[in-house]
């Protein structure tokens, strides 16, 4: 046991001869200072030379106590007791032969076992052991010394003083090393804490504090293993906020970040003890349900998150989310499998109208492959300018004159023939092609309408197109470059597209209206807060949803609904267009109700640019003849 340098410096001397013990007493008596004080002697100076230090720099070399005994067994017992009490000896002088007990070599071996660092002096007069043999038994040759009888007094004093110096220096070095080790241990603990913190941070999303992908992987693996042991299952839900990009684009990333944090908190509260939550990036979250019997309740709570709008200062933004989920088999599924299936279910949920939870079905894999293939082909068609437009005429109330046309996109696939817009438009939305597709349509319409500048051409817009902050400015520049008056271009926006995006649309729509473009609300009455939209945006026209027209023969109140819509349009100074007119009685009823425009197969089917030109040429000739 190492002691502080202030420990008492003690020497143990063992010899069976009384006269030898007396000789030790005479030689060493003046070195013993009970209080540790001393005066430098020639021997101490010699010890200083041996250690390469100035005497003043040495630890106090004074000897505090010398213990004498006569037998090896007694010496070992004294040594053991002192060691156990934390009062070790600086050095031990042992006579090699001490009959009748154990000899000095055995005593030294036992002491070395108790304290491997003890300095031992073997005192020999004659011996049955050679030094090499003694060293082999006792060990630690660098702490094993020899003194030959009859010994010289100065030699004994030098040996005692030097070994006390060495012992004190060793203790000082050990104390310094222990202090340094303590410092290193503190540093190591700090590093371990820092590493643990870094490992924790590596598993957490820095914005929300939720698990990130790495953390989700570890938590999912743990939960899947636990489910396997319990013969249970997990469910994985993929959550996506609808049209979140528009929040960042319109209100900035600071608002978007607060939006994400608030939604993360709501999802965590909704999940409760039934699972755990992760943020996968952007506006995507994942929920792992660990209690299968609670899954339906959990999904209901998650969908309810969107019932309350996000409030921030003077902003109130609607919250809309879609969920795709799947069940996980602990014996074969991985996180990547679960994410893939839930992602397909999420696409299905968005296609079904958003704001719902959709479970994965095997058929979704085939649909996804077809969708991905068509998306690839559609992108190629856009780049190769292989799409084309048809235009459906809009007629005057009496059905005699073409007063406008609506641009309708068509795609003739090289292998599948004509692909319905009802199929490829959702695919374009799912695969982020709507901006490219919309730009192509607007560019083509601007080129085509130079052939009929005397009527209004309508273009359908997608909500996604407004995700470009410069959308309105780009359209204005495009029309100006083509020499087209904004007054002959009308943009149609559906109620569905407006739902949840009123704030996002308003700035750009206002810019378009200020430039002279017209604005129509399409599919009016399809179930959203249409009157509110009409009062907030500068619409010129509303188009009655075709479902009201088709129900004229089937539902008794359909006619009254149309009359109410027409009355609203008149009160707000809007043109009212009825679309989907296919029968004469519908035309007559709608005309009597006061509709301003008619559109439908009863009058004209969608036709090519050339057909529109021929139709308008005949109309112009007729006007001139009249």
Q: Are residues 228 and 129 in the same domain?
A: no
| Site of tokens 């100065």 | 154
Contact between 428 and 464 (Cβ < 8 Å): no
**Widest distance between CA atoms in the chain:** 157
Q: Are residues 341 and 450 in the same domain?
A: no
Which residue range(s) make up the domain with 116?
10-176
Q: Are residues 460 and 588 in the same domain?
A: yes
Using 50, 70 and 90 to split pLDDT, how confident is the model at 529?
Answer: very low
Task: Specify if 532 maps to a domain.
Answer: yes
Report which of residues 393 and 41 the model is more confident about. Answer: 393
- State whether residue 18 is helix, strand or coil: helix
Interval 598-619: pLDDT, tens: 999 999 999 999 999 999 999 9
- The residue from 118, 153, 176 where one domain ends is 176
CATH label of the domain that carries residue 244: 3.30.70.270
Q: Are residues 431 and 541 in the same domain?
A: yes
Task: Specify if 371 maps to a domain.
Answer: no
Interval 412-435: pLDDT, tens: 988 888 888 888 888 888 788 998
Q: Are residues 389 and 354 in the same domain?
A: no
CATH label of the domain that carries residue 557: 3.20.20.450
Task: Report d(CA 181, CA 555) in Å as an integer.
Answer: 91
Q: Are residues 391 and 356 in the same domain?
A: no
Q: Are residues 225 and 296 in the same domain?
A: yes
pLDDT at position 199 is 64
Q: Quick one: what percent of the chain has pLDDT higher than 90?
A: 43
**Strand (E) or helix (H) holding 625:** helix 609-625
Interval 442-485: pLDDT, tens: 999 999 999 999 999 999 998 788 778 889 999 999 999 999 99
pLDDT at position 58 is 43
- Cβ neighbours around 260 below 10 Å, total: 24
Could you tell me where the DSSP H helices lie in 384-464? 421-430, 434-448
- Cβ neighbours around 283 below 10 Å, total: 20
- The residue from 176, 203, 236 where one domain ends is 176
Using 50, 70 and 90 to split pLDDT, how confident is the model at 40?
Answer: very low
Per-residue tokens: 610: 């050339």
Q: What is the mean pLDDT of the chain?
A: 85
Q: How many CA atoms lie within 13 A of 99 on its CB side?
A: 1
Tell whether the model's pLDDT for residue 204 goes beyond 80. yes
Q: Are residues 541 and 620 in the same domain?
A: yes
Task: Specify if 389 maps to a domain.
Answer: yes
Tell whether the model's pLDDT for residue 520 goes beyond 50. yes
Using 50, 70 and 90 to split pLDDT, how confident is the model at 1?
Answer: very low
Q: Are residues 485 and 596 in the same domain?
A: yes
| Site of tokens 């060495």 | 166
Report which of residues 9 and 197 the model is more confident about. Answer: 9
Contact between 496 and 523 (Cβ < 8 Å): yes
Of 256-270, 308-322, 504-518, which range is least confident? 308-322
Q: Are residues 394 and 326 in the same domain?
A: no
Of 17-21, 37-41, 250-254, 487-491, which range is least confident? 37-41
CATH label of the domain that carries residue 33: 3.40.50.2300
Q: Are residues 120 and 232 in the same domain?
A: no
Angle between the N-to-C axes of helices 104-114 and 72-84, in degrees from 0 to 180, rounded to the nearest 10:
10
Q: Are residues 330 and 478 in the same domain?
A: no
Contact between 224 and 230 (Cβ < 8 Å): no
Task: Specify if 197 maps to a domain.
Answer: no
Task: Specify if 137 maps to a domain.
Answer: yes
- The residue from 176, 199, 234 where one domain ends is 176
Mean pLDDT, residues 400-406 taken together: 95
pLDDT at position 396 is 95
Task: Specify if 3 maps to a domain.
Answer: no
Per the structure, the count of domains in the chain is 3
Of 39-48, 283-292, 329-338, 446-455, which range is least confident? 39-48
pLDDT at position 310 is 85
Task: Specify if 35 maps to a domain.
Answer: yes
Task: Specify if 46 maps to a domain.
Answer: yes
């Amino acid at each position: 046991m190492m002691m502080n340098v202030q420990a008492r410096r003690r020497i143990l001397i063992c010899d069976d001869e009384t006269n030898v013990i007396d000789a030790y007493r005479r030689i060493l008596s003046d070195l013993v200072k009970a209080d540790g004080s001393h005066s430098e002697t020639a021997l101490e100076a010699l010890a200083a030379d041996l250690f390469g230090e100035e005497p003043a720099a040495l630890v106090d070399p004074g000897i505090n106590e010398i213990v004498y005994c006569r037998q090896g067994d007694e010496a070992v017992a004294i040594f053991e007791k002192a060691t156990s009490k934390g009062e070790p000896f600086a050095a031990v002088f042992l006579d090699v032969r001490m009959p009748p007990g154990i000899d000095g070599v055995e005593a030294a071996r036992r002491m070395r076992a108790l304290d491997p660092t003890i300095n031992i002096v073997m005192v020999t007069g004659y011996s049955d052991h050679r030094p090499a043999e003694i060293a082999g038994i006792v060990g630690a040759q660098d702490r094993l010394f020899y003194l030959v009888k009859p010994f010289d007094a100065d030699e004994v004093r030098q040996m005692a003083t030097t070994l006390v110096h060495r012992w004190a220096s060793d203790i000082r070095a050990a104390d310094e090393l222990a202090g340094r080790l303590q410092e290193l241990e503190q540093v190591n603990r700090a590093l371990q804490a820092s590493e643990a913190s870094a490992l924790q941070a590596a598993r957490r999303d820095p914005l929300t504090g939720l698990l990130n992908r790495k953390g989700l992987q570890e938590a999912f693996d743990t939960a899947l293993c636990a489910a396997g042991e319990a013969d249970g299952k997990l469910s994985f839900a993929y959550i996506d906020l609808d049209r979140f990009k528009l929040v960042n684009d319109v209100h900035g990333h600071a608002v978007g970040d607060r939006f994400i944090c608030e939604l993360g908190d709501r999802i965590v509260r909704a999940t409760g003890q039934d699972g755990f939550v992760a943020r996968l990036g952007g506006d995507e979250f994942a929920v792992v349900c660990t209690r299968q019997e609670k899954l339906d309740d959990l999904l209901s709570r998650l969908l309810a998150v969107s019932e309350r709008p996000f409030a921030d200062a003077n902003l109130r933004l609607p919250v809309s989310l879609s969920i795709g989920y799947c069940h996980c088999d602990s014996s074969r599924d991985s996180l990547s499998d679960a994410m893939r299936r839930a992602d397909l279910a999420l696409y299905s949920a968005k296609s079904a109208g958003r704001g719902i939870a959709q479970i994965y079905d095997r058929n979704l894999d085939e649909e996804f492959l077809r969708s991905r293939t068509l998306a690839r082909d559609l992108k190629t068609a856009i780049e190769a300018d292989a799409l084309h437009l048809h235009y459906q005429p809009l007629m005057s109330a009496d059905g005699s004159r073409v007063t406008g046309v609506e641009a309708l996109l068509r795609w003739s696939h090289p292998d599948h023939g004509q692909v319905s817009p009802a199929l490829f438009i959702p695919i374009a939305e799912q695969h982020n092609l709507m901006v490219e597709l919309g730009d192509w349509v607007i560019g083509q319409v601007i080129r085509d309408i130079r052939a009929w500048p005397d009527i209004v051409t309508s273009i359908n817009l997608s909500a996604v197109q407004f995700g470009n902050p410069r959308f309105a400015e780009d359209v204005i520049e495009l029309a100006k470059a083509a020499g087209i008056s904004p007054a002959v271009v009308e943009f149609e926006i559906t109620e569905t597209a407006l739902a949840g995006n009123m704030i996002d649309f308003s700035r750009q729509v206002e810019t378009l209206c200020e430039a002279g473009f017209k604005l129509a609300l399409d599919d009016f009455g399809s179930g959203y807060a249409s009157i509110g939209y009409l009062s907030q945006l500068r619409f010129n026209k509303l188009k009655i949803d075709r479902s009201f027209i088709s129900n004229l023969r089937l539902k008794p109140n359909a006619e009254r609904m149309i009359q109410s819509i027409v009355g609203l349009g008149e009160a707000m100074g809007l043109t009212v267009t009825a679309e989907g007119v296919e029968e004469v009685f519908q035309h007559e009823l709608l005309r009597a109700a006061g509709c301003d425009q008619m559109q439908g197969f009863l009058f004209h089917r969608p036709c090519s640019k050339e057909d529109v030109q021929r139709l308008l040429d005949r109309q112009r000739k007729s006007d001139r003849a009249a």
